[in-house]
Amino acid sequence: GDSVTQMEGPVTLSEEAFLTINCTYTATGYPSLFWYVQYPGEGLQLLLKATKADDKGSNKGFEATYRKETTSFHLEKGSVQVSDSAVYFCALSDRRMGANYGGSQGNLIFGKGTKLSVKP
Amino acid sequence: DAGVIQSPRHEVTEMGQEVTLRCKPISGHDYLFWYRQTMMRGLELLIYFNNNVPIDDSGMPEDRFSAKMPNASFSTLKIQPSEPRDSAVYFCASRPGQGNDQPQHFGDGTRLSIL
């Protein structure tokens, strides 16, 4: 079945350091890919998305490029801030061509999350 | 616009009691999802609805769990009887329409503690 694998944390960085959180996926269809962020005590928020190969999603200085050849969607930021401390989730939403997959279409499959701590 | 609204934010109760969690999705969203988050198992999909109809409840852990969506603006997740292992954060999410490029919007969750 479809799955998402992301690097285990926790990741601890100093302010202004470069961030990479690796995410790879397996999918039998044509997935859209997402990064969600969860701040302490809050729900998940969409950070960015990409819906087809070679698309780059970006938001708040974060970027991720949909790489079909390596089935990856790594999250990057050039200079992290203390306020970026959170848990980051990679997710995919599968799209099947042809037959109507009805209710299974568009469900999110999440990675286990990577906790990022940024120190001043 | 108001986001997904969940209540209560925190619930502490003794085992054996009935627990009801509530969710108001974003207006106009056709899909509603219930998730459970724990340290051990991460984020798990319990059940989801499309146009108020339950589509897939294969993630519901056992018969003690039930979910309803009586109308487009309200859903409940009920646990009866509750057990300590049900302690978790429960999230509700909603999203619009068909297609896999629509993101889900999450509420702030209900932190449930069963003593």
How many angstroms away from the CA of A13 is the closest CA of chain B?
Answer: 22
The bridge status of strand B5-7 relative to strand B19-24 is antiparallel
The minimal CB distance from B106 to the residues A32, A43, A94 is found for A43
Token pair for B20? 């009801």
Q: Residue A105 pLDDT > 90, yes or no?
A: no
pLDDT digit string (tens) for A47-99? 999 999 999 999 999 999 999 999 999 999 999 999 999 999 999 987 654 33
**Residue A9 banded pLDDT, cuts 50, 70, 90:** confident
Classify B67 as helix, strand or coil: strand
pLDDT digit string (tens) for A16-29? 999 999 999 998 87
Mean pLDDT within A4-8? 91
Mean pLDDT within A103-112? 72
B75 in Cβ contact with B23 (< 8 Å): yes
CA A30 → CA A5, A105, B90, B100, distances in Å?
17, 11, 29, 9
Q: Which residue has the higher pLDDT, B42 or B24?
A: B24
Token pair for B106? 């999450």
Kindly give, in sequence order, each residue whose CB lies less than 8 Å from that of residue A108, ignoring residues fewer than 6 positions away. Answer: A34, A91, A92, A93, B33, B45, B104
- With 0-12 / 13-18 / 19 or more C-beta atoms within 10 angstroms meaning exposed / middle / buried, residue A79 is exposed
The bridge status of strand B31-38 relative to strand B10-13 is unpaired
B-chain residues within 8 Å CB-CB of A95?
99-101
Is A108 an interface residue toward B (CB < 8 Å)?
A: yes
pLDDT digit string (tens) for B66-100? 999 999 999 999 999 999 999 999 999 999 876 77
> What pLDDT, on the 0 to 100 scale, is given for residue B83?
96
Q: Quote the mean pLDDT of chain A.
A: 89
Q: Residue A104 pLDDT > 80, yes or no?
A: no
Is B108 an interface residue toward A (CB < 8 Å)?
A: yes
> What pLDDT, on the 0 to 100 scale, is given for residue A33?
94
> What pLDDT, on the 0 to 100 scale, is given for residue A114?
96
B46 in Cβ contact with B67 (< 8 Å): yes
**Residue B1 banded pLDDT, cuts 50, 70, 90:** low
Classify B86 as helix, strand or coil: helix
Q: Given an 8 Å threshold on Cβ–Cβ distance, is B43 in contact with A34?
A: no
**Residue A106 banded pLDDT, cuts 50, 70, 90:** low
> What pLDDT, on the 0 to 100 scale, is given for residue A116?
97
Mean pLDDT within B8-16? 96
Mean pLDDT within B4-30? 96
